[in-house]
Structure 1
Amino acid sequence: MTSVPVIDIAQFDSGSADEQRRIADSVGTACEEIGFLVVTGHGVAPGVIDDLYAVAMEFFQLPFEHKREVRSPVNNLYQGYAHPGPNPGDHTSERQSYNVFRYDTVAEAVANGYPPDLEGLFFDALWPREPAGFRNAVRTYYAEMERLAGRLLTILESTLGTDPQRLTSMLDHHLSTQAINYYSDDIDSGHERTPYRFKAHHDGSLLTILYQDDGPGSLQLHRRGSGWMDVAPIPDTFVVNTGEILTRLTNGRYPATPHRVLHPPADAPKVPRMSAPFFFKPGLDSVLAPMPELLSADEESRYDPHTGRSWYTLNQRNIDNGYDSTKQYEALAADGVLPA
């Protein structure tokens, strides 16, 4: 593939069997060959996106100390506000972010059937005092991403020919994170200057569903064997990419694709860039190993088995030890395992 395919999924739910097969095949080819696709016909109302962007822009342009009121008290990057910097709980990338889970509190999640050992991998929401309507806009957007994730998982089940509900059952007690990223140059991170606002990395999710605006600085993916290419923003679409969990579930058939974010050119307008990635992550008790029905008679699993619990614990430990996804990628690229 020489470009990211744009796939209209509107007819998958109600179209003919031929239409459903065509959509499923297109999604499968994209996952297998490039690991990225652009989705139209997603059913998310433009107003939901506009409302999220409006309150997020207002939040990120608040004074720094106001934003830090909702910084994680345990220095966790998936809880509340985070910014670039050299300290624990700071981003190694050049972005500010806001993150939230499915429920406002661990207690609420446990009351809705989540395992009681959730604490430490799932964090209470930290809602800012302003802007007004922030929580409602974020929660409405999160619910739409849950719905869209369910549609995409159904398409993947058809694409892969898995047992029914094999992937959609992972929506039960999922640990997905909604992030909002704000790229600007108004915070001195103390990092060494590089061409990248966010260095090359893989996502540790099953799928990532991203909305991006047209602010300066480009998202790029690595085409397998063909170098880096831009993922240009298209209005009213979502960029979907494969994550490391899907790679494990498919025994490498759908590899997680490296991606990065560049600094804008020196002559670009001095305006921020925002994106809103939804990281779909199965629950703690999900089995994150190659699905048996996808393995041929003589095919061995390429991956050690994990549960959601052990996978997220490992990822969190790596972050705590300063070995986040970009550092992991750099190490593998230095060994020649991944492209530089």
Structure 2
Amino acid sequence: MTYARIPVIDLGPWHADPVGTADRQHLADHVDRALRTTGFLLVTGHGIAPGLPRQLRDAAREFFHLPAAVKDAYAQRAGLRGWTGRDRVVTGRSEGTETPPDLLEVWSCAADPATPTRWPAEVPALRPLIAEYTDRMRGLADTVLEVMATALHRPVDFFTRHTTDPNWDFTVNWYPAAEETGPAAPGQFRIGPHTDFGLVTLLDRQAGRGGLQVHDDEHGWRDAPYEPGAITLNIGDLMARWSGDRWRSGRHRVLPPPADAPQEELTSLVYFHACAPDTSIASLPAPVGRTPYPAVRAGDYLQEKMRAIYAAGGE
């Protein structure tokens, strides 16, 4: 398996230079070229101290290693976010691909006050760490959206004017080791093939044998490169529609637990950034856009996609 070519984008010049400088436009043009070919970026110069994701992973792993009966008290249900156990999520369904249930457990929370989270008393550090992390990710996502607006020669707040009250979603994905899950069934993954649903996704991942793969039309599935300290960014369906398919929604999956590394477990921190639910997403016209999609309401689109991925009996 060869590695996919994912460009590295250093946000340092964006933070250092005033609005409208040539260095900012050069960076934005680089982002535009990358998103037109892959839909993925590796982002450095983001200002996120490495200690924060490390502490969050430690707290999350403490929760995931609790007995199932304890975790079930925090299970995600209608109108309540929290823990989702194994055999409850089939991510491939969002693109119409049927696979066995994904081999992961998830802790999730969201910006929507109508779906509160019941936080685990057994791991009190989890809530404040997630609050700090999602706040930092929200700021980083808005910075990236400013770069993307500049790449399209739009006002710098072209996207962020719709994210002052963003519909963000955050998950901690825990991928248990093969010695715990047993052999993967045919066609079973830690996360099945899919594209994300919102504007941009920011992923803090760990290197592993059973790790992230990305897909392109020329080469098919290839391993995603890993760079310590970099955030993996991919655009989602709403941004692809908004750009009129100028930028592609990056298709990806996470490989099953490797049989030759039976103790490998991985934890990914995944921040999904979307606009306010009532935002109408209409494709930018040519020559920027290539495909004139019908306008959709962002919140309706996201809800439809989320309903598709839960296995029978899930929420």
User: Normalising TM by the smaller chain, what interval?
Assistant: 0.7 to 0.9
- Give the TM-score taking structure 1 as reference length: 0.80
**After the TM superposition, which residues 1-20 of structure 1 pair with which residues of structure 2 at under 5 Å, given as runs?**
3-15=5-17, 17-20=21-24
Deviations 1:95-114 (A, max 9, x none): 101011136xx2xxxxxxxx
2:85 corresponds to which of 83, 86, 91: 83
> Is 1:84–1:189's contact at 8 Å kept on the other side of the alignment?
no
> Is 2:102–2:188's contact at 8 Å kept on the other side of the alignment?
no
Deviations 1:195-252 (A, max 9, x none): 5221211111111000001243120101232221111322111000011011110011
Gaps of 5+ in 2: 92-99
- The yes-or-no answer on 1:134 pairing with 2:100 is no
> Is 2:277–2:297's contact at 8 Å kept on the other side of the alignment?
yes
CA RMSD of aligned residues (A): 2.8
**After the TM superposition, which residues 310-329 of structure 1 pair with which residues of structure 2 at under 5 Å, given as runs?**
310-319=300-309
Deviations 1:68-113 (A, max 9, x none): 111123287xx21102226999x9311101011136xx2xxxxxxx
2:173 corresponds to which of 161, 166, 181: 181
Between stretches 311-320 and 214-223, larger displacement belongs to 311-320
Query: How far apart, in 2, do the equivalents of 1:271 and 1:4 lie?
Result: 25
**After the TM superposition, which residues 5-84 of structure 1 pair with which residues of structure 2 at under 5 Å, given as runs?**
5-15=7-17, 17-74=21-78, 79-84=81-86
Gaps of 5+ in 1: 107-118, 325-340
2:142 corresponds to which of 136, 150, 157: 150
Secondary structure of the corresponding residue to residue 14 of structure 2: coil
Match for residue 92 of structure 1?
101
Query: How far apart, in 1, do the equivalents of 2:64 and 2:146 lie?
Result: 35
Query: How far apart, in 2, do the equivalents of 1:64 and 1:186 lie?
Result: 17
Match for residue 168 of structure 1?
160
Corresponding residue pairs, total: 300
> Is 1:249–1:288's contact at 8 Å kept on the other side of the alignment?
yes
Secondary structure of the corresponding residue to residue 12 of structure 1: helix
Query: Structure 2 counterpart of 1:315, which letter?
Result: K
TM-aligned CA distance change 1:265 to 1:72, over 3 Å: closer
TM-aligned CA distance change 1:74 to 1:253, over 3 Å: same
Query: How far apart, in 2, do the equivalents of 1:101 and 1:208 lie?
Result: 14
> Is 2:43–2:232's contact at 8 Å kept on the other side of the alignment?
yes
Deviations 1:276-318 (A, max 9, x none): 1101111111111213xx4349x78531211123212322443
How far off is 1:265 after superposition? 3.2
Query: Structure 1 counterpart of 2:299, which letter?
Result: R
> Is 1:86–1:190's contact at 8 Å kept on the other side of the alignment?
no
> Is 2:206–2:266's contact at 8 Å kept on the other side of the alignment?
yes
- The yes-or-no answer on 1:295 pairing with 2:286 is yes
- The yes-or-no answer on 1:284 pairing with 2:280 is no
TM-aligned CA distance change 1:269 to 1:23, over 3 Å: farther
Between stretches 165-174 and 133-142, larger displacement belongs to 165-174
Match for residue 231 of structure 1?
224
How far off is 1:19 after superposition? 2.1
Query: How far apart, in 2, do the equivalents of 1:62 and 1:153 lie?
Result: 38
Query: How far apart, in 2, do the equivalents of 1:217 and 1:5 lie?
Result: 22
Query: How far apart, in 2, do the equivalents of 1:200 and 1:270 lie?
Result: 24
Query: Structure 2 counterpart of 1:11, which letter?
Result: P
Secondary structure of the corresponding residue to residue 34 of structure 2: helix
How far off is 1:18 after superposition? 2.9
TM-aligned CA distance change 1:273 to 1:2, over 3 Å: closer
TM-aligned CA distance change 1:88 to 1:161, over 3 Å: closer
Ranked by relative contact order (alpha carbons within 8 Å, sequence separation 6 or more), the top structure is 2
TM-aligned CA distance change 1:72 to 1:168, over 3 Å: same
- The yes-or-no answer on 1:252 pairing with 2:242 is no
Query: How far apart, in 2, do the equivalents of 1:307 and 1:189 lie?
Result: 41
> Is 1:249–1:290's contact at 8 Å kept on the other side of the alignment?
yes
Query: Structure 2 counterpart of 1:4, which letter?
Result: I
TM-aligned CA distance change 1:276 to 1:38, over 3 Å: same
Between stretches 304-313 and 250-259, larger displacement belongs to 304-313
Match for residue 334 of structure 1?
none
- The yes-or-no answer on 1:307 pairing with 2:300 is no
